[in-house]
């Protein structure tokens, strides 16, 4: 049977955009590069994490992959929304605004995490650690803020980024070499 897909797998693009942007912001949250990581993250949030990941989500709709379409489009919108939140609304100055923003994404990520349990071990791992990341960042950005919780969220975000990069690399290399180069591990 011929391959029904009219577009290449957009998953590696979506995962790479998510991973790179998450890595940059998480490194700032973890206190590694402070302002430098935040500056890079906000730029990536608009272009790679935002627009490119959103486009990957649209291509997943074409491929009839509901999970991938919702995940990439939504997290692309997360990054675009964060860019707007920081640059246009003065969101970082409003009490609890970032905490509310992150709480909404914690809730969304929870049910996406449940859905990821029907994909593969690699992707499910991304969502499990991402959920933990959002929980710590939400708590850390509530009220006066809790810098140690933000740092934990930052380190968890770095782990999330590494896992997402692995999944992206696996999809690209496995497709390019037409064999399993990097396993993702099937889930029952």
Q: The tokens of 41 are what?
A: 């993250």
* Residue range 138-185, pLDDT digits in tens: 999 988 678 899 999 999 999 999 999 999 999 999 999 999 999 999
Instruction: Give the mean pLDDT of the chain.
Output: 93
Instruction: Report whether pLDDT(3) > 70.
Output: no
Find the helix or strand (DSSP H, E) in which 104 lies.
Answer: helix 97-116
Q: What is the pLDDT of residue 155?
A: 98
Place of tokens 């934990």: 152
With cut-offs at 50, 70 and 90, classify the pLDDT of residue 84.
very high
* Residue range 30-75, pLDDT digits in tens: 999 866 778 899 999 999 999 999 999 999 999 999 999 999 999 9
Q: The tokens of 128 are what?
A: 């499990």
How many angstroms separate the CA atoms of 135 and 98, rounded? 13
Instruction: Report whether pLDDT(2) > 70.
Output: no
Q: What is the pLDDT of residue 95?
A: 76
| 136 neighbors 152 (Cβ within 8 angstroms) | yes
User: Nearest Cα to 44, choosing from 68, 18, 26, 70?
Assistant: 18
Q: CA 71, 49, 180: angle at the middle one, nearest 5?
A: 65
Place of tokens 């390019």: 176
Helices (H) and strands (E) counted in the chain, each on its own, are 7, 0
Q: What is the pLDDT of residue 34?
A: 67
């Amino acid at each position: 049977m011929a391959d029904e897909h009219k577009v290449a797998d957009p998953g590696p693009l979506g995962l790479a955009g998510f991973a790179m942007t998450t890595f940059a912001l998480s490194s700032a949250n973890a206190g590694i590069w402070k302002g430098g990581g935040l500056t890079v993250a906000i730029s990536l949030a608009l272009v790679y994490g935002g627009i490119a990941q959103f486009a990957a989500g649209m291509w997943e709709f074409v491929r009839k992959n509901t999970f991938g379409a919702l995940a990439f489009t939504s997290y692309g919108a997360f990054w675009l929304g964060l860019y707007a939140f920081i640059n246009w609304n003065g969101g970082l100055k409003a009490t609890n605004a970032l905490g509310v923003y992150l709480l909404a994404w914690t809730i969304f990520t929870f049910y996406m995490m449940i859905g990821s349990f029907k994909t593969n071990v690699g992707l499910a791992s991304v969502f499990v650690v991402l959920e933990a990341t959002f929980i710590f960042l939400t708590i850390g950005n509530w009220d006066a803020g809790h810098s140690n919780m933000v740092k934990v969220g930052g380190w968890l975000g770095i782990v999330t980024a590494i896992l997402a990069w692995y999944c992206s690399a696996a999809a690209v290399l496995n497709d390019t070499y037409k064999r399993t180069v990097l396993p993702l591990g099937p889930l029952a």
